[in-house]
Structure formats: structure tokens, C-alpha cells
């Protein structure tokens, strides 16, 4: 870490001097950068010379939708913003140790030297820190306070089902931070519009009753106490209000992090909560070059946003649903300090995740009907082959498919619930789905070849229970149900609902990931799950479970690289890989039902940044919602590079040659993404022909620095060979 950030309490002049001294090449001779047509270029200089590793942002409202592009300065403070559409831009500098420079006018083809503005105080500098640096100040109950002893006389206020400190951290990350950017300005500085309160504990009790997400927030805080949880959040914001600053400081981008180019477009509405975006078939990123980007708006609306990045035009497609499908308007809500009594979410389809196939069809995990309107053939006594093995009485989210050519949707009734979805590598183009909640006790799939030929949803789908081969028979046999005691002489059905899902490109197995207590709210650990379908998955499928090793906990998100190695992110603050080929002992026996096997297959990489005080320093306060493996070098950093959506640090974190690098997006503050995908628009076009795409993923885009008018954005992230490459 640069010595410029080791102390937050230096006088402003001394801080500025140290910042300048710490910048590599600050006093070296600077060679000017020529601005060619379509470029804005120049040098960023502070009071003590060129400023290295700061961002230059150019933004315009002259195009059909708001557009911005940002780059990072090199070690001589030089920058080059390439490939700008013709428009009038506002251009400014943002960086650690600085406050934003004045926004000045710029235009493509213009050389524009900029003046950096040192932060006058450490507090002013800290306002630009990623949210994780702020929320790492949250005090976590000490390890010796667990298991909790409850709220009664003599109790410590921690529920008795909180067995260990990790479960508390898991709840903070997976039930709070995973949907709301905890450390963002609007979270760490409670708004006066909430009202007047006796103390901040009372304020926080009111705060989590705001808007249409109040039900989830109430459940999360109840699991933390609730008085204990409210008091610790109150203590956090009180200390910030008194002027306490983060103990750690972010470093400026270094090395390959300076090669990043990010392009941003507005899409959707200011109150839209988006989950994901898709640009191509993830199995073949050269398909649909320069094509449209589609988004999934989850609970907030039934309007699917679409962006054409060539024309900078955004629009919406209305997703249909059947009569009787519940709406978010039916959920309880409290007054919002941003929106008052206005219900801003009216979605029915709960459109969680989406994916493109090789024909350009867009497939959605979307609700098409009420959960209880389950076809009789799904339930006990039903005649579907899977229902005879594992009947399902309700499903809250299903499937749909949109054809861009005809602009029509098919609504596909599934007995199993859906959450994430991914295509296999078989001739049937099987679409495998996850089932995110505790009821997700089966893995489901749709034979899309058969469905598109027949439009017969019943005949095209199937699902299977998860059965662990305790005796080691090697094939499905007699098993005991999940609610029955373990019998070492029989196989065992387990409840470990897939959250993420990912077919392996190497052996036909289907990998899933099950959430830990912080999200599932069940008394079970999180697992990686390997489902081996066999020739008839409903009747032949077998399951293997793998827990993270001691020190790691709570996997979230999953992908499989080209070698069959599984990648996930852990709430302990790690990117993790699991290589099953390293397992030394047989994967059967009683331990097979607990996942406590093959710890030797795991490798953990600690996310950069601070840890909560009093928590194992081997982990990090940082948190990633999901992980995506760049199997095809779409970002230009190599094949099989994992990319974690580390929304706590407001970055994408990439692992290159065993080292983690943070591709931080500093504008708008509160960059929060849940997943990425990559597309190669031109395999021969160098860095310009390659990119990864993502979108704003927070439930509250209005919590970002630009406030109530902020719309979700599409982000195109590219990597140049150097900070000035054209």
C-alpha cells in the first residue's frame, strides 16, 4: 500500500505532498499524448506534478441515452479516451487522495490537459473510497459470543441458532450486502427524510421498513437479533457521523488495472432493480457480434431492458404472464425517503436470470403464474416420470423464451422452480436450472430441442432428487429420504438446493452450489454440489457434496473452467477453486452426506482490502455475488481467467497468473454488479474486439452518488495492452 494512504489524519498539505511523491514517475519528463479523431487525450497534473493511477471520465447526454467512458492515467499522468461517439462531453478527474476536479467541456479530437484537486481533508478523500472500506467498520460480535444466548434475561441478544461468528458475517454479506451496497454514501449517512428519532437504533428500525424490500430486510435483521443487529448498525453510522474514518485506504490502480477502459450506457428506469445482462451464447462468445444486450429486471418490473450499443439506443420489451400471477404491488411496504408512499415495483414475472442460446433466442428464469397453480401432473399421483420419483406441489418461478425475430414470448410451465440457468453441451441443448431457496430439493432441466420442436413443456422437462451414494454402489439404488436418519447400508437423499448451476464442459456432470445459513436460513452449511445425471437423470442421477475447507465458508456463484475446475466465491472473503481430480480418498461413506471430504481439492485466494475488526485476518470484508470464468479470452487476459463480481469493493476482481487484480469502476460511486458475460465482436480486432458486459445490480440504484435520478447502467469493460493503446 502506498504510504500516501497509511494515515488518514495528515494535514492536507502534507497529504498532497505524500500523494505526489508516491506517484511513480511523478517528477519524470512527461511526453504529451496526441488526440486523434474520436479521442480525448492529455495529461492530469496535480500541485506536485503528474497524477498516476487516477481515472478520467467523459460523459455526454447528447446521444439517445446517457453515455460515458472512463480510463486510467499511466505512470506519467497521461490518459487517452478512445473511440468516442461525436458529442459534447463533460470531462473530469477522480482518484484516491483527490476530490473530483471541475467538469470541463471536451470533444473528440481534442487535447485536454486536466488539473487534479487534492482532497482538503482525509474525510473528503474518504468519500470516494469503495463501500467495503466503510462497511468493514461495522462491529462484529466477538467469536466468544457464539452460540448466541438469546434475548431473555442474561442473554447476549444473539439468537441461539447463530452457532458461530461466521454465521453472523454470512448473514451480513449474503442477506444484506448482496442486495444493498452497504457502504455506499446513502447507507452510511442515513437520510433526514426518515424522520426524528430518540436514537439511531430507533432510526435503523424505521429505516429497514422502507420500500418494498422491507420484508427481506426484516427477516435479515431478525436473524441478527433484532435489537443486537439494529444496535450495531446504529453504532456504525453514529461513529461515522462523529467523524470516524476507515482504518484502511484503497490503493490507486496499478499494473494491468491501468489498462482498463469502461463504457457506460443508461437503460431501464430509475427504480428498476436489474439482476443480470446477457450479450451472447456463453458457450460461444463469437456469436451475435455487436448485437443487442438484454437485461433481467427481477421483482421491480415486467419490462425487459434492451440496449443497442451501436446506436446508443435503449428500449423495453414487456414480458407477459398469466392471469392471477402475483405482483410486488401486493407486498407490504413502508414509506421511502426517496419515493414516499409511491410503490415503485410492480413486477409479476420476478425475472431473475437470462441466457442466450446459439440461435439467438433469449431464455428467462421468470414467473409465469401463481406458485400454487401447479399442474396436477407435477404433484404426488401425477403421471410425469419425475413426479413419480420426486413430486413437487408448487413452483414460484418458471421459464420463458423470447424470439427477437418474431418478437414473441413462449411461457413454459415448469414443475420445478428456477433461479439461474445455463445450457449444457449435449445435442438436446439441455437448459439446466437452479432453485435458489430452501425448497430447492431437486435439480431441473428442459430439453430445449424437443420443446422448440413440439412446444410440449410437460414432455420436454424433467427433474431429479439429489441422492448421495453412501454405500459406494456406483449407481442409483435404494435410498432413505432427507428427513430420515442416515443408514450406512443405503443411499441418502439430501436437501441442498442449487443456487448457481453450471454444466461441466469436460465430463457431462452438472455442478451446483448451495447457500449457507446466511441466505438459506437453514441449519446447514453451503456446499459445492456435483450431479452426475447418468442416462436417465430422474432415476440414475447421483450427487456429491463438497464443503469449503476450514477458514472458508458460504460459497455463492459458480462456474467451471475449460479443464473442469470449479470456481466459486466465499463469504469468508475469498475467490476459491475446487479441483475434484485432487481428491485422495473415496467420495462415499457417511462423510459423503456432510461434504467434509476432499479439502485437498480447494485453493483459496483472499480478496484484497480490509477485514472486519476482530475477525480472522485470513479472510476479507469484501464479498462477491457471483463468479464467471473467461474460458475464451474475451477480456484479453488469457483463457480460464475467473472474474468475481466483488460489489463490496465496487470492482470486478480477476485472477491472472495467481494474482488478484481489482478492475474498479469508480463512477457512479456504488458500482454493484452481480454477474458478467463476455463477447468477442471481432476475433481479429485486438483489444477493441473483446469485452465483458454487466449491469447495475443493486436493488436501489438511487443509493448511488447521483441519487434519485440515477438509472441502471450497462457497463462494457475492456483491457488494453497499455493505458494509452488505441
Query: What does the pLDDT read at residue 497?
Result: 77
* pLDDT digits 0-9 by tens, 51-110: 999 999 999 999 999 999 999 999 999 999 999 999 999 999 999 999 999 999 999 999
Q: Among the three residues 213, 241, 269, which one is the final residue of a domain in this structure?
A: 241
- Verify that 10 and 92 share a domain, yes or no: yes
Q: Is 406 exposed, middle or buried (0-12, 13-18, 19+ CB in 10 A)?
A: exposed
Query: What does the pLDDT read at residue 8?
Result: 37
Helix axes 227-241, 200-207, angle to 10 degrees: 110
Instruction: Examine the pLDDT at 2 and tell me if it is beyond 50.
Output: no
- Verify that 701 and 573 share a domain, yes or no: yes
Boundaries of domain holding 14:
3-59+68-126
- Asked if residue 537 belongs to a domain, the reply is no
- Verify that 39 and 108 share a domain, yes or no: yes
Which H helix or E strand runs over 718? strand 713-719
Report how many helices (DSSP H) and strands (DSSP E) the chain contains, helices first. 13, 42
Query: What does the pLDDT read at residue 233?
Result: 95
Arithmetic mean of pLDDT, 8-28: 40
Query: What does the pLDDT read at residue 477?
Result: 97
* pLDDT digits 0-9 by tens, 179-218: 888 999 999 998 888 889 999 999 999 999 998 988 888 8
With cell 488526440, the residue in question is 35
- Asked if residue 486 belongs to a domain, the reply is no
Query: What does the pLDDT read at residue 437?
Result: 53
First and final CA of the chain: distance in angstroms? Answer: 30
Instruction: Examine the pLDDT at 518 and tell me if it is beyond 90.
Output: no
**Of the candidates 378, 438, 431, the residue with the CA atom closest to the CA atom of residue 400:** 431
CA angle 297–299–305, rounded 5-degree value: 15
More confident residue, 22 or 509: 509
- Verify that 135 and 283 share a domain, yes or no: no
Q: Among the three residues 110, 126, 142, which one is the final residue of a domain in this structure?
A: 126
* Cα–Cα distance, 311 to 289 (Å, whole number): 14
Q: Among the three residues 78, 93, 126, which one is the final residue of a domain in this structure?
A: 126
For β-strands 117-118 and 677-680, DSSP reports them as: unpaired
With cell 404426488, the residue in question is 380
- Verify that 118 and 141 share a domain, yes or no: no
Looking at the chain, the whole-number percentage of residues with pLDDT higher than 90 is 86
* Cα–Cα distance, 487 to 86 (Å, whole number): 71
Tell me which of 239-243, 340-344, 404-408, 450-454 is least confident: 340-344
- Asked if residue 347 belongs to a domain, the reply is yes
For β-strands 110-111 and 40-46, DSSP reports them as: parallel
- Asked if residue 477 belongs to a domain, the reply is no
Instruction: Examine the pLDDT at 6 and tell me if it is beyond 60.
Output: no
**Of the candidates 701, 708, 710, 723, the residue with the CA atom closest to the CA atom of residue 647:** 701
- Verify that 83 and 161 share a domain, yes or no: no
- Verify that 145 and 279 share a domain, yes or no: no
265: cell is: 450506457
- Verify that 151 and 270 share a domain, yes or no: no
- Verify that 568 and 686 share a domain, yes or no: yes
Cβ pair 627, 502 in contact under 8 A: no
Instruction: Examine the pLDDT at 15 and tell me if it is beyond 70.
Output: no
Cβ pair 245, 123 in contact under 8 A: yes
- Verify that 654 and 635 share a domain, yes or no: yes
Coil, strand or helix: which one is 461? strand
Cβ pair 140, 228 in contact under 8 A: no
Cβ pair 492, 593 in contact under 8 A: yes
* pLDDT digits 0-9 by tens, 558-585: 999 999 999 999 999 999 999 999 999 9
CATH number at residue 24: 2.60.40.1120
* pLDDT digits 0-9 by tens, 266-315: 999 999 999 999 999 999 999 999 999 999 999 999 999 999 999 999 99
Other residues' Cβ atoms within 10 Å of the Cβ of residue 668: 19
* Cα–Cα distance, 662 to 672 (Å, whole number): 14
**Of the candidates 516, 641, 498, 520, the residue with the CA atom closest to the CA atom of residue 575:** 641
Cβ pair 274, 697 in contact under 8 A: yes
Q: Give the burial string for 133-148 (b: 16+ CB within 10 Å, else e).
A: bbbbbbebbeeebbeb
**What strands lie across the sheet with 313-318, from one edge to the other?**
276-278, 293-296, 303-308, 313-318
Arithmetic mean of pLDDT, 460-470: 96
CATH number at residue 421: 2.120.10.30
- Asked if residue 54 belongs to a domain, the reply is yes
* pLDDT digits 0-9 by tens, 156-171: 999 999 999 999 999 9
Number of domains in the chain: 3
Query: What does the pLDDT read at residue 597?
Result: 94
- Asked if residue 530 belongs to a domain, the reply is no
Query: What does the pLDDT read at residue 386?
Result: 97
- Asked if residue 474 belongs to a domain, the reply is no
**Of the candidates 513, 510, 506, the residue with the CA atom closest to the CA atom of residue 564:** 506
Average pLDDT value for the chain: 93
Query: What does the pLDDT read at residue 440?
Result: 59
Instruction: Examine the pLDDT at 628 and tell me if it is beyond 80.
Output: yes
- Verify that 594 and 708 share a domain, yes or no: yes
User: How many residues appear in the chain?
Assistant: 726
- Asked if residue 168 belongs to a domain, the reply is yes
Cβ pair 608, 662 in contact under 8 A: yes
- Verify that 235 and 267 share a domain, yes or no: no
Query: What does the pLDDT read at residue 215?
Result: 82
Q: How confident is the model at residue 370 (pLDDT cuts 50, 70, 90)?
A: very high
Q: How confident is the model at residue 177 (pLDDT cuts 50, 70, 90)?
A: confident
Query: What does the pLDDT read at residue 3?
Result: 34
Amino acid at each position: 500500500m502506498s504510504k500516501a494512504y497509511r494515515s488518514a489524519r495528515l494535514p492536507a498539505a502534507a497529504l498532497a505532498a505524500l500523494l505526489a511523491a508516491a506517484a511513480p514517475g511523478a517528477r519524470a519528463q512527461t511526453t504529451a499524448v496526441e488526440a486523434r479523431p474520436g479521442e480525448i487525450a492529455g495529461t492530469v497534473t496535480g500541485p506536485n506534478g503528474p497524477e498516476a493511477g487516477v481515472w478520467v471520465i467523459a460523459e455526454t447526454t447528447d446521444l439517445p441515452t446517457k453515455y460515458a467512458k472512463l480510463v486510467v492515467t499511466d505512470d506519467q499522468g497521461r490518459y487517452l479516451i478512445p473511440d468516442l461517439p461525436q458529442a459534447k462531453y463533460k470531462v473530469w478527474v477522480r482518484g484516491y487522495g483527490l476530490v473530483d476536479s471541475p467538469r470541463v467541456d471536451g470533444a473528440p479530437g481534442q487535447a485536454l490537459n486536466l488539473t487534479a484537486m487534492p482532497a482538503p481533508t482525509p474525510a473528503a478523500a474518504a468519500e470516494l473510497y469503495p463501500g467495503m472500506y466503510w462497511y468493514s467498520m461495522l462491529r462484529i460480535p466477538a467469536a466468544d459470543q457464539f452460540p448466541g444466548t438469546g434475548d431473555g434475561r442474561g442473554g447476549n441478544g444473539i439468537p441461539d441458532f447463530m452457532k458461530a461468528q461466521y454465521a453472523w458475517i454470512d448473514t451480513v454479506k449474503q442477506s444484506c450486502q448482496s442486495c444493498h451496497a452497504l457502504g455506499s454514501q446513502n447507507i452510511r449517512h442515513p437520510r433526514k427524510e426518515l424522520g426524528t428519532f430518540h436514537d439511531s437504533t430507533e432510526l435503523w428500525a424505521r429505516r429497514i421498513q422502507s420500500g418494498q424490500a422491507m420484508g427481506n430486510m426484516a427477516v435479515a435483521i431478525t436473524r441478527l437479533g433484532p435489537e443486537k443487529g439494529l444496535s450495531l448498525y446504529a453504532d456504525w453510522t453514529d461513529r461515522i457521523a462523529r467523524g470516524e474514518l476507515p482504518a484502511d485506504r484503497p490503493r490507486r490502480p496499478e499494473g494491468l488495472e491501468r489498462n482498463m477502459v469502461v463504457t457506460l450506457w443508461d437503460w431501464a428506469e430509475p427504480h428498476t432493480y436489474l439482476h443480470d445482462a446477457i450479450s451472447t451464447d456463453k458457450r460461444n462468445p463469437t456469436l451475435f457480434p455487436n448485437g443487442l444486450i438484454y437485461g433481467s429486471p427481477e421483482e421491480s418490473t415486467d419490462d425487459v431492458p434492451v440496449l443497442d450499443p451501436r446506436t446508443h439506443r435503449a428500449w423495453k420489451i414487456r414480458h407477459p404472464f398469466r392471469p392471477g400471477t402475483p405482483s410486488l404491488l401486493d407486498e407490504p411496504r413502508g414509506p421511502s425517503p426517496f419515493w414516499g408512499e409511491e410503490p415503485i415495483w410492480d413486477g409479476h414475472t420476478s425475472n431473475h436470470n437470462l441466457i442466450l442460446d446459439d440461435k439467438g433466442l433469449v431464455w428467462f428464469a421468470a414467473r409465469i403464474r401463481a406458485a400454487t397453480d401447479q399442474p396436477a401432473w407435477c404433484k404426488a399421483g401425477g403421471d410425469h416420470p419425475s413426479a413419480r420419483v420426486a413430486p413437487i406441489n408448487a413452483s414460484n418461478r418458471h421459464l420463458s423464451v423470447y424470439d427477437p425475430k418474431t418478437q414473441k414470448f413462449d411461457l413454459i410451465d415448469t414443475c420445478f422452480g428456477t433461479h439461474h440457468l445455463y445450457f449444457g453441451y449435449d445435442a438436446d441443448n439441455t437448459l439446466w436450472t437452479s432453485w435458489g431457496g430452501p425448497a430447492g430439493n431437486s435439480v431441473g432441466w428442459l430439453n430445449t430441442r424437443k420443446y422448440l420442436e413440439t412446444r410440449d413443456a410437460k414432455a420436454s422437462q424433467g427433474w431429479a432428487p439429489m441422492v448421495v451414494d453412501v454405500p459406494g454402489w456406483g449407481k442409483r439404488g435404494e435410498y432413505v429420504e432427507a428427513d430420515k436418519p442416515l443408514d450406512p447400508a443405503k443411499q441418502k437423499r439430501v436437501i441442498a438446493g442449487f443456487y448457481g448451476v453450471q454444466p461441466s464442459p469436460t465430463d457431462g456432470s452438472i455442478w451446483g452450489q448451495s447457500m449457507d445459513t446466511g441466505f438459506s436460513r437453514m441449519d446447514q452449511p453451503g456446499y459445492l454440489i456435483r450431479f452426475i445425471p447418468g442416462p436417465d437423470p430422474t432415476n440414475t442421477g447421483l450427487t456429491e457434496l463438497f464443503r469449503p475447507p476450514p477458514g472458508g465458508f458460504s460459497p455463492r456463484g459458480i462456474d467451471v473452467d475449460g479443464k473442469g475446475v470449479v470456481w466459486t466465491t466465499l463469504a469468508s472473503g475469498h475467490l476459491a477453486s475446487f479441483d475434484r481430480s485432487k481428491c485422495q480418498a473415496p467420495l462415499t461413506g457417511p462423510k459423503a452426506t456432510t461434504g467434509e471430504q476432499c479439502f485437498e481439492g480447494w485453493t483459496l485466494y483472499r480478496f484484497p482490502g480490509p477485514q472486519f475488526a476482530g475477525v480472522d485476518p485470513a479472510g476479507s470484508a469484501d464479498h462477491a455475488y457471483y463468479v464467471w470464468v473467461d474460458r475464451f479470452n474475451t477480456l484479453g487476459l488469457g483463457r480460464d481467467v475467473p472474474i468475481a463480481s466483488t460489489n463490496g469493493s465496487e470492482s470486478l476482481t480477476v485472477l491472472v497468473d495467481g494474482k488478484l487484480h481489482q478492475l474498479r469502476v469508480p463512477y457512479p460511486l456504488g458500482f454493484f454488479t452481480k454477474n458478467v458475460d463476455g463477447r468477442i465482436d471481432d476475433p481479429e480486432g485486438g483489444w477493441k474486439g473483446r469485452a465483458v458486459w454487466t449491469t447495475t445490480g443493486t436493488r436501489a440504484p438511487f443509493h448511488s452518488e447521483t441519487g434519485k435520478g440515477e438509472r441502471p447502467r450497462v457497463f462494457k469493460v475492456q483491457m488494453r495492452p497499455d493505458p494509452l493503446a488505441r
